[in-house]
Amino acid sequence: MKDLLNQQDSAVELLPKKMLVTQRIFWGEHGLMRPISPLTNVNREKELKLRRGMLVAHQVLGFVTLGGMTAQGVIGARLYNNYSEKLKDTHENLAIAVNATYSAGAFMSFFTPPPLINRDKKLSSIRIHKWLSLVHMSGMIATNILADKIEENAKLKPLHRAAAFTTFASFAAAVITIKF
């Protein structure tokens, strides 16, 4: 990465043309962070270091979440075949932990400062990772909604299970695509 400080007097674009809505709201030219961190070369360099740290945290939280999802799936399968209050409590406690790590990871992704430039439009592991995030985020929402409804309608169990498997598969694929 070029040293932004050495380019202080040149007409370098400090923000990419395209950003996530959340990035634009917080880090855009007139974003909520600009009173604290004015849009300068020096501050953009600091923001890019913050971005890197947040994306590393996003990755770590992704691995922790994947481990939690795996444990929750194992307990869920046992619960599905052999119901007990202890298994149900364990499954629900794992759900709380998985939801917390998943949400923290999503936060790190959505609210990170934007990159310096946009990537090209070619198919890449990052692009596939982002597409898969749409699937696993929808699956997380569906899984949680269905989990709340199972108590009043046990016929929803197969739908909950299908949503959970879809979420796990798309989340695991998203983690794997980043590594290749």
DSSP 73-122: HHHHHHHHHS--HHHHHHHHHHHHHHHHHHHHHHHHHHTSPPPSSPPPSS
Flag whether pLDDT at 118 surpasses 90. no
- Tell me what the mean pLDDT of segment 59-67 comes to: 97
pLDDT at 158 over 80: yes
For 136-141, the CB contacts below 8 A with 24+ separation are 136/167, 136/170, 136/171, 136/174, 137/106, 139/163, 139/164, 139/166, 139/167, 139/170, 139/171, 140/99, 140/102, 140/167
Report helix, strand or coil for 153: coil
- Average model confidence (pLDDT) for the chain? 92
Domains of the chain, by residue range, sit at 15-179
pLDDT number for residue 3: 56
Is pLDDT of 10 > 50?
no
> What is residue 12's predicted lDDT score, i.e. its pLDDT?
59
Percentage of the residues of the chain whose pLDDT score is greater than 70: 93
pLDDT per residue as tens digits for the range 30-42: 999 999 999 999 9
Is this model's pTM higher than 0.85 or not?
Answer: yes
Average pLDDT of span 80-94: 94
Q: How far is 113 from 136, CA to CA, in rounded Å?
A: 23
